Amino acid sequence: MWSVLWAAVRSKAPYVTFPVAFVVGLVGYHLERVLRGDPPPTAEEEKSISEQREDRKLQEIAGKDLTKVVSLKDKLEFAPRAVLNRNRPEKS
């Protein structure tokens, strides 16, 4: 008789454990929300990472004059470095 009982328990285990896990998770979620005390931010208030990055970049370049750039003749870092810097011209 025990083998029939254990076989029935094994076959019906997913139907029992899912609702139990769901209730435990739901209770834990609400308990944590009560203990923390702060409401979760709404979707309208929360900015995405890319929006935060764009805002930060705009703040960084707000006070700069973007028309003044270094000439490519003066800037030698755009050329790849050769072995032991043999092919790189020296600045005089």
* Maximum Cα interatomic distance, the chain, rounded to a whole number of Å: 97
Q: Which residues contact 89 (CB under 8 A, 6 or more apart)?
A: 76
DSSP letters, 1-63, are -HHHHHHHHHHHHHHHHHHHHHHHHHHHHHHHHHHH-PPPPPTTTPPPHHHHHHHHHHHHTTT
> What's the pLDDT score for residue 61?
87
Contact in structure between 36 and 30 (CB atoms under 8 Å): no
> What's the pLDDT score for residue 85?
63
Average pLDDT, consecutive stretches of 10 residues, N- to C-terminus, the chain (92 residues): 87 88 94 82 75 90 83 66 61 54
Structure pTM? Answer: 0.37
